[in-house]
Every structure is written in structure tokens, then in C-alpha cells.
Amino acid sequence: SSSTYPISVLDYGAGNVLSLLNALSILGYTNVTIITTPSEVTSATCIIFPGVGSFGLAMENLVKMGVLQALVTHIKSDKPYFGICLGMQVLFTSSSESPSIPGLGIIGGEVTKFQGKDGSKVPNIGWNTLTPTSSCTSSTPIPKEGTGGYYYFVHSYRALPPDGVDKEWIQTTAEYGGDVYVASVGKGNVAGCQFHPEKSGGDGLEVMRRWICSVSGGLVNSNVGEAGVGGGGGIAKRLVVALDVRSNDVGELVVTKGDQYDVREKGEGGKGGVRNLGKPSDMARKYYEDGADEIAFLNITSFRSKVIDDLPLVELMKETSKHVFVPMTVGGGIRDFTDEHGKLWKGWQVADRYFRAGADKVSIGSDSVTAVERLRDEGWDKDKVDSSIGDISVRYGVQAVVVSIDPKRVYVKGEERVEAERRGHVVKDTKDGRACWWQCTVKGGREARDICAVTVARGVAELGAGEIMLNCIDNDGQCDGYDLELMDAVGGAVDVPVIASSGAGREEHVSEVFLKTGVSAALAAGMFHRGEVEIESVKRDMRDKGLVTRM
Ligand code: 1PR
């Protein structure tokens, strides 16, 4: 069923409003406009504000657009407003993220940064359940009985429930890193949530539907699904499905999958064609419907692309984001490059194309390795190093920047070990009695560099990466499990979340990497593409072993 209730999406051009528009479209709202001017804000019936970037950037943009006063008037006269993530945070008085810039001041209280207590990673990225407060009822956007569902959060700052009168705003809280923080607020026709309803699968879409129904005078029927069944409270371990994408020999984009990064069939007496496992958008949609928590698209031949208007994954993202309502990452070719007309494009401009097409995060591979090499050459003074990582995290937030590392094991003994350590590599004793370090490669494993994975991970976290996708070329496609020693070595060295990748072949491998290392997410590709293992059975195994799991 469709509705012509007018909805205005306030946008200052720094992020992904496409996902929100797609969510509204699938819910049947056809009268949706993007607004940017004071008069549009003044005449809007219902405003949704999906803020992105930093608190200060959001407030400055509202001032620059001249809409600040009109927005405050709209909210204070109790006209419908829904703030998502930063769009909720700006309702508060201030934020320690930008101490000199006040918020809208609708809700008393300060937004502050997670402390990373007890080794918890910052940003908080993941799926969480909610706890209702006494202001949460069966008719609030998140109904009391729906708080057991899973909602997707990604943020470094959070509001702690303020004392006193403003408490009545707080409808649900969530728990992370030892904090109980504000997950959603609401009073009258004004509401907001810290999580992303447009990225929280069916549970999230339901929050939006209920809120719009209530403010538009529609019926909030209790279409509340079964509350999700998890392994308990707290943040769920994420299961990411990766789609390695490239053109095949006749120029179609296909999902492929390599063995140790070699994606060609073993042909007679030489190399066969590129393995074709299916159409990327169809496969992404299927994995979303099967319960994947996140989908990553990697353009594995990106080092060839030369034209900004010919980024192969842009159209794919636009298409996929119509049907997929969980976070999507795009990687491959995010770096500065000069096109055939001699024009220089910055990495963040390439990333921007993907964000506008529906991506939530970009993943940077080769360019991150060279950025850390420059950082090392500058004596680890990050102010002296320009990088795509820094450029993108400043504009879109650290949570939007994933770094993908493609290391290979190098075994060393005796003098070699001494020499490797002298060159700054972190060498570990492995359980088979040997010692190794993990050498970073660029260009999809084609070129090895004299820098180790632990060093690159530390460096990119300094430069502003929010997450690390940690592959391992030795284990890729081997179905023998993840490189646990690598996951441990890198996970222990950085405060940002690590996604384990490469080597999953059975359900137990995923549970194992969560139980034995501190990674926040596990990525798998081939076992799903070949139809050997189902997402649901992996999640059942995780849940049965006591891991918090979004079923
Ligand atoms: O360097 O910024 O242009 O990014 C290129 C990106 O493409 C990097 O993220 C790099 O990891 C990826 N890539 C490049 N070549 C290949 C290849 O396979 N020939 N694929 C490649 C990386 C790793 C995972 C894979 C897991 C899990 N593939 O995506 O899906 O290893 O596989 P499994 O579960 O089947 O073991 P830039």
C-alpha cells in the first residue's frame, strides 16, 4: 500500500540519504522530497534528518544553509521531526566532539565519547538490543515489546541519560563498553534514534513505519514481529558476506572468488576464464534476506580503472540499495588518481560517488599501505601525512572508513628474524613452533611491500580508519579456518574493531574466530557463494556456543 503523506528529508550533502529514500520507498511513501533551504524547512510537514559526519560539521552546515532557526521553530512547535544518529544527537545541548558549537538544545544534556572501557573498541559498530525506559509504551516508535529486536549502531559519541526533567525524552537505552546510553528519544511528534533504522533490516524499517503512522494520524497497527532471539544482551558479533566483483572476459560484472587471490579456473595447460559465481546485485539481495549483518563489495581489479564516471560499482550500489537494508561497504580503487584528461581526483571524491550511490562505508586497500609507509617516513607524525583515510574520515566520520589489509605469512628463523625485527616487523611464534610476520601486499596481492600487517593496522588507526578488514592471502579460499594468530596479533594492537577475513569453510570456523580472538566481525565469501553453508546455520552455531547473535 502507498501513502502520499509528505515527508521532507533534510540533507546537507555529506552522506548517504539514498538508503533512507529507498527505505521510505519500500515502506510505500511516495511523496518524499529532499530539502535544503529555510523556506522548505518552514513549509515542511514532517522532517527526517539523517545527520552524518561530526556534531560540529552538522551544526555548521545547518547554520550555513540558513535553516537553523526554521528547524528549531519546527521542532519547538511539535511538528513531526525524526533525527537519525547525529540527527538525534543535535537535539541535545552540546557535544564534546565540538565543544564550542552548541546543539539545538531541545533535550538537556551533553553528548560525550565512549571511553573504550574494558578493551571495548571505539567506534561502537554493530547490532544491539534495546532496553525500554518507563517512557516507552506499546505505541512509541519502538514499542516496549519490540525492544528485543536488533538495531544497527555506528558511533563514537553517545548521550548518557541526563538527570532530571529531560529523562522523560528517553524511550530506550542500549549498553556498550560498560555504558548505558541513549538509544532513542521521543516526545509528542519529535523523535530520534542513535541507531540507523534504514540499516537495521526489518526491525528498523518497522520503527520508521510506526513513527510515520503515528505522526501522520495513520493507524499504528501492531505489526510488531517476534522480538529477535539472541544469545543474550549486548552487542552482537557481526557476520559479513563479501562479494569479490570484477568484469569477466566478456565485460559483465560478476561475483568471483579466488584461491589465495587467484580467481581463474584451472584451465588446461594454463589459465582458464574468471570464475563466475553469479550476479552481484541478486546475490547481495539473497544474502540480505538470508540474514547477513553486512555486505562488502570489493572491486578486485580496481587498479585498472582510469575514469571517474566509469566506476563499475556505482550503478551496482544504486541498484542494490533499493533492496538491501543492512550496511554496505564498497572497496577497490579508493585513492587519488589522475584521469585520462589529466584531471586529479582525490580519494574522498571517489568515495563520495559511492556514498551517494548507497554505500555506508568504503574500504581502502593499497592506498592505506602507502599512506602508512609515508607516515613511517615522517617519523609517525600524522599531521605531516595527507591520506584518503584522513580526508574521508574528516568528511564522513571514522565509521565510514574501513581499511582492507592483504597480508601474506613470511616465516623467519635465526638471523632472518633478527633482521625482520630490525626492519620494524612484528614477528610472532606460531603454534607449529615456527616464527612468522605478516607482509602487506598491494594491488590484490600482486606486489609485496616491506611493512607488516600490525604496523599498517596501527598506522591506519592513527590516520583515522574506523575499522580493519583483515584478510590473509595464505588462508583465502582454503576453507581451513581463519588465521587466528594474525587476528590476535592485529586485534591486540589496535583499538578499532577488526573484521576477520579469509579461510572460513564451515560454521565452526566463524564461531572459533569469535571465541578465540577479540575480533568484532567475521567475513566469509566462498562457502556461501558455492552454497556449501547457509548464513542461518552459521548463526545458529554462534548462538548455540553462547555468542550474542542477531538471528
Ligand atoms: O587496493 O584499495 O584497490 O582494494 C582492492 C580490494 O580488493 C582489497 O580490499 C583487496 O583485498 C581486494 N582484492 C584484490 N584482489 C583480490 C583477489 O581475490 N584477487 N580480494 C581481492 C580480496 C579477500 C576477501 C575474500 C576473503 C574471504 N578477497 O574479500 O572474500 O578472503 O574469502 P573466503 O571466505 O572464500 O576464504 P584497493
Residues 6+ apart with CB under 8 A from 208: 23, 24, 27, 82, 141, 197, 198
The domain that holds 141 is classified in CATH as 3.40.50.880
Task: Tell me, yes or no, if 46 is annotated catalytic.
Answer: no
- Based on the domain organization, do 167 and 249 belong to the same domain? no
**Cβ atoms of residues 126 and 152 within 8 Å:** yes
Instruction: Mark whether 299 and 261 lie in a shared domain.
Output: yes
* 292 and 377 fall within a common domain: yes
Supply the pLDDT for residue 307: 64
The gap from C-alpha 409 to its chain's centroid, in whole angstroms, comes to: 28
Angular region, 34: left φ>0, alpha ψ -120 to 50, beta rest = beta
What are 126's strand-pairing partners? 153
Active site residue 85: yes
Distance 468 CA to ligand 1 centre (A): 13
The pLDDT of residue 231 is 35
SS3 319: helix
Q: Is residue 229 part of a domain?
A: no
pLDDT of residue 270: 57
Half-sphere exposure of 537 (CA within 13 A, CB side): 11
Residues 205 and 257 in one domain: no
Model pTM score: 0.91
Query: How distant, in Å, are the alpha carbons of 302, 364, 372, 406 from that of 442?
Result: 11, 11, 12, 7
Residues 257, 181 share a domain = no
Q: Are residues 305 and 167 in the same domain?
A: no
Q: Are residues 144 and 281 in the same domain?
A: no
The answer to whether the CB of 222 falls within 8 A of the CB of 146 is no
* Catalytic residue of the set 196, 425, 509, 529: 196
pLDDT at 306: 65
User: With a 6 A CB cut-off, is 473 part of the ligand 1 pocket?
Assistant: no
Establish if 204 belongs to a structural domain: yes
Question: Which residues in the chain come in under a pLDDT of 70?
Answer: 1, 14-15, 165, 218-233, 268-270, 303-310
215-259 pLDDT, tens digit per residue, is 998 655 444 333 333 334 678 999 999 999 998 878 789 999 999
Single-letter amino acid, residue 327: P
Asked whether residue 230 is assigned to any structural domain, the reply reads no
C-alpha to C-alpha distance for 425 and 441, rounded to whole angstroms = 14
**Same domain (yes/no): 320, 406:** yes
- Please name which of 499, 515, 415 lies closest in space to residue 457, comparing C-alpha atoms: 499
Could you tell me if 108 and 256 lie in one domain? no
Distance CA(230)–CA(234), nearest Å, equals 9
Helix (H) or strand (E) run with residue 162 in it: none
298 forms beta bridges with 244, 331
Q: Is the CB of 481 under 6 A from ligand 1?
A: no
Do 382 and 345 share a structural domain? yes
Q: What ipTM was assigned to the predicted interfaces of this complex?
A: 0.98
- Which residue is catalytic, options 203, 206, 244, 294? 244
2 lies in some domain: no
Answer yes or no: do 303 and 390 share one domain.
yes
CA distances from 146 to 137, 151, 210, 225, 254 (A): 10, 11, 12, 7, 39
DSSP string, 132-149: E-TT--TTSSS-GGGTTS
Same domain (yes/no): 142, 72: yes
- Find the CATH number of the domain harbouring 428: 3.20.20.70
Domain total in the chain: 2
407 Cβ below 6 A of ligand 1: no
Residue 229 has a pLDDT of 35
Instruction: Specify if 535 maps to a domain.
Output: yes
- Determine the pLDDT at residue 220: 56
Going by C-alpha positions, the residue among 546, 438, 421, 542 that lies closest to residue 486 is 438
Domain hosting 60: range is: 7-215
**Residue 206 appears among annotated catalytic residues:** no
Of the three residues 158, 182, 215, the one that is the final residue of a domain is 215
Predicted confidence at residue 25, as pLDDT, reads 93
228 in any annotated domain: no
Look up residue 260 and give its DSSP letter: T
Q: Is residue 270 in a domain?
A: yes
Cβ-based neighbours of 471, under 8 Å, separated by 6 or more: 404, 405, 406, 407, 501, 502
Q: What is the pLDDT of residue 249?
A: 78
* For ligand 1, mutation pick of 263, 337, 476 (most atoms within 8 Å of CB): 476
In a domain, 226, yes or no: no
Q: Are strands 157-159 and 107-113 parallel, antiparallel or unpaired?
A: antiparallel
What pLDDT, on a 0 to 100 scale, did the predictor assign at position 339? 83
